[in-house]
């Protein structure tokens, strides 16, 4: 329905307004008229739709049907005081004035003059006081001052007197009356306290989304033959109850109009992008970070701590595991290792070979414990005292020499007595794998030493495989070298997710973002201001992690550092965009925290940090290229240890994947923000 041309003295006019949330009808065919230079008291019980109506007026919520006319067409001509405080506790009063003043488009001088006026008018403490250090009443007055700061034509106050002492409430009403009658401002004020609205020029009594009456308070009391507004309201409610006895959501929905055409937003913002608003937001974020310097220090220290911890906890293969030795050739136990009375054909040793073998194991950090029998060692292993136990036959050393001399003619008995038997606790994959590897390599080393000393070819004691210089990487790679690409990339994704989600959701959940948006800020400016600071912090975090990983711990890095830094910054940008996505999607900090933690757990599992991607389920392997972060991990590995460049498919696929995911996430965030009307 087209709204007729308004009478010149009408500041606000609403016709046939309908609004529902889900199946809950909040506004039902509501009409409302507010004359210029008057105070309009919008009264009604909690939940009747007062705030929804004000939000529709400032364009934060759109009517499903009906028309709204607001004479003050621009946001800077409208002052809005929300029900919640919606102020930054870490700002001083003067900084709050500067921030909102700049969003309203005011000049510095104007802000200073109006700010001092507000401090006097509302009897506020000096501007250097932190908002968070003020009393509840003082904070509400600061909130009121912010709404008045830019001298708006239309003032919308959502319950300004709730929780305020009667003296302050009456001084607020005095100021309002002066503003309306002397300065010709139009004021719409919502309140639960029906009697205080006697001072308004017009009152609108609202119940269940309908205006029961709209007239001057004295007229209403006279018409209803009552001495108080409270009584008049009760009578009107009773009348509504009898005519509307069966009104419930279902019946309201049946008569609900077709919502194909929505009325345009009644108030507009000055321009798409404003450097002044962007800078105001940027300075506000900077001040917040500097005031919360403990948080800043934590953000910078966390990646260093993580990098140090990773290097100190992963990859070290000196486990100091205890190995039980049941060597029957050592008649006096380990003390027999000190005897040097053996004589063989070559001069290799005059000590038992089991002793030499134990020396080699000790070099690898293993600790030997002596047992007189295999049974005794087994009992200790079962009790968890030792990780493995080895047994050597009574004639072990002689049998080994015999076996070498006899070659293919060696008897079964000699083969058995020249074999070391090992029982290993296999319940811990890494410990047991490394132990078994070291047991094998140590016996090979023992035999090779023996062959060399006996003038035989060392090749005879070598398994017939020779590993030449590695194509890429080191000859003795550690698990850490494998994990670094996955760990670095997932950290760089997670850190911005954690910090950005927390910052944005907390702004959103206590109404501060909404208040700033109503003051004219738009979502692009919010994102840009946040991104500038985040990138500064992320840049430092990345540099610190790289320094610790490669300059302090000297992990292998053969490729281009520039390519690595660009890749990590792109991943951080992806993390930040994902955080924006979560903060528009989730309404509570808890939900966002669950979602971000859940994401990182999944990414950590599938991006090849704990196990190579080649070992994933074939279906997952097939789609691995489509997973976020995973191709970036492979790209990191290819750059850092294979010295590959952007012309290699593995490298460029990583960059491409991050770019595509960033685009998808940014677009999805803006679509969800549009649907949820977050940035409007
Ligand atoms: N975004 C939303 N999504 C779903 N329901 C909503 C939303 N906003 C408001 N409502 C519902 O609309 C109804 C009216 O809410 P509104 O905040 O407008 O009431 P109110 O009259 O301002 O109440 P109060 O005086 O307690 O602030 C309530 O039932 C509320 O739960």
pLDDT per residue over 640-667, tens digit each? 999 999 999 999 999 999 999 999 999 9
Burial class of residue 186 (count of CB atoms within 10 Å of its CB; 0-12, 13-18, 19+): buried
Q: Using an 8 Å Cβ cutoff, are 233 and 227 in contact?
A: no
Which residue's CA is the nearest one to ligand 1's atom 17? Answer: 51
pLDDT of residue 676: 77
Alpha-carbon distance 60 to 522, whole Å?
A: 12
Q: What are phi and psi of 368, to 5 degrees?
A: -95, 140
- If you measure from the C-alpha of residue 168 to the centroid of ligand 1, how many angstroms do you get, rounded to a whole number? 26
Alpha-carbon distance 281 to 431, whole Å?
A: 53
| Nearest residue to 274 (alpha-carbon basis) of 525, 526, 100 | 525
Atom of ligand 1 nearest to the CA of 49: 18
Atom of ligand 1 nearest to the CA of 206: 21
Atom of ligand 1 nearest to the CA of 48: 21
- If you measure from the C-alpha of residue 256 to the centroid of ligand 1, how many angstroms do you get, rounded to a whole number? 19
- If you measure from the C-alpha of residue 84 to the centroid of ligand 1, how many angstroms do you get, rounded to a whole number? 13
Token output for 544? 């610190």
Atom of ligand 1 nearest to the CA of 44: 21
| Nearest residue to 113 (alpha-carbon basis) of 124, 128, 98, 103 | 98
- If you measure from the C-alpha of residue 577 to the centroid of ligand 1, how many angstroms do you get, rounded to a whole number? 30
CB atoms within 10 A of CB 393: 21
Which residue's CA is the nearest one to ligand 1's atom 7? Answer: 21
Alpha-carbon distance 16 to 263, whole Å?
A: 11
Token output for 431? 């410990």
Which residue's CA is the nearest one to ligand 1's atom 6? Answer: 21
Determine the residue of 19, 24, 28, 51 to mutate for testing ligand 1's pocket, defined as the one with the most ligand atoms within 8 A of the Cβ atom: 51
Alpha-carbon distance 678 to 8, whole Å?
A: 33
Nearest 5 degrees, angle CA 92-CA 590-CA 143? Answer: 25
pTM value is 0.77
Domains of the chain (ranges plus CATH)?
12-72+153-225 (3.40.50.300), 87-149 (no CATH), 279-311+478-676 (no CATH), 322-460 (no CATH)
- If you measure from the C-alpha of residue 649 to the centroid of ligand 1, how many angstroms do you get, rounded to a whole number? 54
pLDDT of residue 270: 64
- If you measure from the C-alpha of residue 583 to the centroid of ligand 1, how many angstroms do you get, rounded to a whole number? 21
- If you measure from the C-alpha of residue 68 to the centroid of ligand 1, how many angstroms do you get, rounded to a whole number? 19
- If you measure from the C-alpha of residue 158 to the centroid of ligand 1, how many angstroms do you get, rounded to a whole number? 12
Determine the residue of 17, 50, 60, 84 to mutate for testing ligand 1's pocket, defined as the one with the most ligand atoms within 8 A of the Cβ atom: 50
Which residue's CA is the nearest one to ligand 1's atom 25? Answer: 46
pLDDT of residue 126: 94
- If you measure from the C-alpha of residue 156 to the centroid of ligand 1, how many angstroms do you get, rounded to a whole number? 17
User: b vs e for 434-465, b when ≥16 Cβ sit within 10 Å of the residue's Cβ?
Assistant: bbeebbeebbebbbbbbbeeeeeeeeebeeee
Helix axes 353-363, 429-453, angle to 10 degrees: 130
Token output for 591? 């939900």
Which residues of the chain have a pLDDT value below 70? 1-8, 241-255, 259-263, 269-271, 340-349, 677-680
DSSP state of 92: B
Residue 34, strand partner residues: 12
Alpha-carbon distance 490 to 351, whole Å?
A: 53
Which residue's CA is the nearest one to ligand 1's atom 19? Answer: 47
Which residue's CA is the nearest one to ligand 1's atom 26? Answer: 46
Token output for 116? 């001092």
- If you measure from the C-alpha of residue 48 to the centroid of ligand 1, how many angstroms do you get, rounded to a whole number? 7
Which residue's CA is the nearest one to ligand 1's atom 10? Answer: 21
pLDDT of residue 1: 37
Give the DSSP H or E segment for 287.
helix 275-291
- If you measure from the C-alpha of residue 629 to the centroid of ligand 1, how many angstroms do you get, rounded to a whole number? 41
**Helix, strand, coil percent values for the chain (each to nearest 5):** 55, 10, 30
Could you give the 3-state DSSP secondary structure of residue 348?
Answer: coil
Determine the residue of 26, 61, 86, 212 to mutate for testing ligand 1's pocket, defined as the one with the most ligand atoms within 8 A of the Cβ atom: 26
Which residue's CA is the nearest one to ligand 1's atom 4? Answer: 21
- Residues within 6 Å of ligand 1 by CB: 21, 26, 44, 46-52, 83
Which residue's CA is the nearest one to ligand 1's atom 24? Answer: 46
Alpha-carbon distance 484 to 549, whole Å?
A: 9
- If you measure from the C-alpha of residue 402 to the centroid of ligand 1, how many angstroms do you get, rounded to a whole number? 93
Which residue's CA is the nearest one to ligand 1's atom 28? Answer: 47
Atom of ligand 1 nearest to the CA of 55: 18
pLDDT of residue 248: 61
Which residue's CA is the nearest one to ligand 1's atom 13? Answer: 47
Strand order in the sheet with 24-35: 24-35, 10-21, 65-70
Which residue's CA is the nearest one to ligand 1's atom 16? Answer: 49
Q: Using an 8 Å Cβ cutoff, are 47 and 27 in contact?
A: no
Which residue's CA is the nearest one to ligand 1's atom 29? Answer: 47
pLDDT of residue 610: 83
pLDDT of residue 4: 41
Provide Rg for the chain, Cα atoms: 39
Could you give the 3-state DSSP secondary structure of residue 628?
Answer: coil
- If you measure from the C-alpha of residue 51 to the centroid of ligand 1, how many angstroms do you get, rounded to a whole number? 7
Which residue's CA is the nearest one to ligand 1's atom 20? Answer: 47
Which residue's CA is the nearest one to ligand 1's atom 31? Answer: 47
pLDDT per residue over 240-263, tens digit each?
766 655 556 566 666 677 766 666
CB proximity list for 400: less than 8 A, separation 6 or greater: 353, 418, 450
Q: Tell the residue number behind the tokens 């000699």, with chain if given.
A: 414
Q: What are phi and psi of 42, to 5 degrees?
A: -95, 110
Atom of ligand 1 nearest to the CA of 54: 18
- If you measure from the C-alpha of residue 20 to the centroid of ligand 1, how many angstroms do you get, rounded to a whole number? 10
pLDDT of residue 240: 72
Torsion of CA 462, 464, 467, 468, to 10 degrees: 100
């Amino acid at each position: 329905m087209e709204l007729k041309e308004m009478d010149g003295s009408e500041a606000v006019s609403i016709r046939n307004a309908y609004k529902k949330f889900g199946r809950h009808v909040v506004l039902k065919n509501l009409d409302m008229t507010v004359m210029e230079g008057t105070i309009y008291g919008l009264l009604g019980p909690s939940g009747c739709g007062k705030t929804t109506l004000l939000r529709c007026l400032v364009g934060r919520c759109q009517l499903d049907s009906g028309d709204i006319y607001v004479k003050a067409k621009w946001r800077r001509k409208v002052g809005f005081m929300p029900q919640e405080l919606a102020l930054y506790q870490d700002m001083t009063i003067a900084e709050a004035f500067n921030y909102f003043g700049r969003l309203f488009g005011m000049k510095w001088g104007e802000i200073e003059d109006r700010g001092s006026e507000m401090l006097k008018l509302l009897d506020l403490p000096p501007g250097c006081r932190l908002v968070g250090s003020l009393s509840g009443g003082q904070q509400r007055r600061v909130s009121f001052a912010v709404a008045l700061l830019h001298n708006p034509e239309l003032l919308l106050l959502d319950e300004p007197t709730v929780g305020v002492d009667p003296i302050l409430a009456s001084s607020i009403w005095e100021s309002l009356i002066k503003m309306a009658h002397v300065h010709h401002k139009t004021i719409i004020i919502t309140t639960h306290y029906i009697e205080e609205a006697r001072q308004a020029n017009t009152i609108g009594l609202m119940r269940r989304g309908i205006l029961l009456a709209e007239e001057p308070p004295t007229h209403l009391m006279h018409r209803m033959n009552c001495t108080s507004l409270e009584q008049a309201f009760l009578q009107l409610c009773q009348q509504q109850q009898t005519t509307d006895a069966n009104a419930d959501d279902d019946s309201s929905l049946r008569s609900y109009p077709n919502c194909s055409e929505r009325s345009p937003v009644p108030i507009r913002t000055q321009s798409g992008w404003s450097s002044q608003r962007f800078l105001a937001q940027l300075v506000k974020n900077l001040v917040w970070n500097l005031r919360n310097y403990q948080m800043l220090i934590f953000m910078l220290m966390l990646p260093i701590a993580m990098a140090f911890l990773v290097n100190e906890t992963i990859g070290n293969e000196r486990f100091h595991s205890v190995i039980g030795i049941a060597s029957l050739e050592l008649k006096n136990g380990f003390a027999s290792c000190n005897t040097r009375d053996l004589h063989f054909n070559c001069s290799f040793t005059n000590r038992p070979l089991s002793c030499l073998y134990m020396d080699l194991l000790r070099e690898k950090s293993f600790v030997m414990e002596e047992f007189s029998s295999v049974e005794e060692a087994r009992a200790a292993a079962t009790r968890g005292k030792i990780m493995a136990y080895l047994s050597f036959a009574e004639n072990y050393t002689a049998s080994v020499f015999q076996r070498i001399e006899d070659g293919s003619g060696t008897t079964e008995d000699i083969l058995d007595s020249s074999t070391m038997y090992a029982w290993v606790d296999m319940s811990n994959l890494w410990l047991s794998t490394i132990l078994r590897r070291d047991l094998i390599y140590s016996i090979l080393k023992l035999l090779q030493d023996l062959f060399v000393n006996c003038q035989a070819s060392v090749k005879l004691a070598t398994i017939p495989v020779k590993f030449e210089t590695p194509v890429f990487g080191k000859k003795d790679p550690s698990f850490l070298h494998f994990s670094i690409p996955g760990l670095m990339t997932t950290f760089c994704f997670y850190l911005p997710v954690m910090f950005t989600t927390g910052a944005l959701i907390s702004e959103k959940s206590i109404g501060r973002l909404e208040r700033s948006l109503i003051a004219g800020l738009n979502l692009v400016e919010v994102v840009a201001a946040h991104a500038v600071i985040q990138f500064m912090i992320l840049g430092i975090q990345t540099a610190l992690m790289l320094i610790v990983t490669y300059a302090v711990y000297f992990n292998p890095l053969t490729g281009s550092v520039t390519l690595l830094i660009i890749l990590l910054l792109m991943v951080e940008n992806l993390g930040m965009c994902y955080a924006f996505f979560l903060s528009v999607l989730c309404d509570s900090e808890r939900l966002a925290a669950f979602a971000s933690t859940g994401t990182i757990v999944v990414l950590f599992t599938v991006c090849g940090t704990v196990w190579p991607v080649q070992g994933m389920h074939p279906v997952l392997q097939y789609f691995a290229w489509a997973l976020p972060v995973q191709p970036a991990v492979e790209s990191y590995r290819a750059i850092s240890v294979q010295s590959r460049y952007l012309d290699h498919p593995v490298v460029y696929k990583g960059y491409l994947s991050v770019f595509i995911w960033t685009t998808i996430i940014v677009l999805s965030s803006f679509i969800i923000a549009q649907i949820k009307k977050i940035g409007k």
